[in-house]
Amino acid sequence: MAYSEKVIDHYENPRNVGSFDKNDPKIATGMVGAPACGDVMKLQLKIDEQGIIEDAKFKTYGCGSAIASSSLVTEWVKGKSIDEAAEIKNTAIAEELALPPVKIHCSILAEDAIKAAIDDYRAKNKE
């Protein structure tokens, strides 16, 4: 199966790889895994007082599509409010990267990672 040019670009030059300190209250961490393929994805968002995502980093162990999906998401969420980020749909990710049907679950994983990170942020900042 051939990867699209965009997937290869993100795979070879992944954007925003790395980690933030997960104990920092401004940092939201989302961890998700896909049992079907054993992929593990960590997405971290740095969120300012206004609820705007200042920065994002990811670490993904998985196939090229999973790495590309998470790399793309880190670019997309920057500058968005958490509510806007929560609106990002896997279908948009899959479309942007031209993922074939068997790789759609990689985009679902990336969408779930955003949601998990936002849940983490809301749990941290409940009061």
Partner 1 sequence: MNFFELFGLEADYSIDLTSLATTYQALQKTVHPDRFAHSSSQEQMLAVQKSAQINDAYDTLKNPIKRGEYLLQHLGAELPNEQASFQDIEFLMVQMELREMLAQIKFANDIDAALMSAQESLDIQARQLWLEFEQQLAAKSDAANQQAGETLRKLKFYHKLYIELERIEDALFDD
Query: Closer CB to partner 1, residue 5 or residue 61?
Result: 61
Which of the residues 19 through 38 are near partner 1 (CB under 8 A)? 31-38
Residue type, position 58, single letter: F
Residues 94-113 touching partner 1, rule: CB under 8 A, are: 105, 108-109, 112
Exactly one of 68, 106, 108, 114 is catalytic; name it: 106
Q: Is 63 a known active-site residue? A: no
β-pairing, 39-47 vs 53-61, is: antiparallel
- Interface residues toward partner 1, by CB under 8 A: 31-40, 42, 59, 61, 105, 108-109, 112, 116
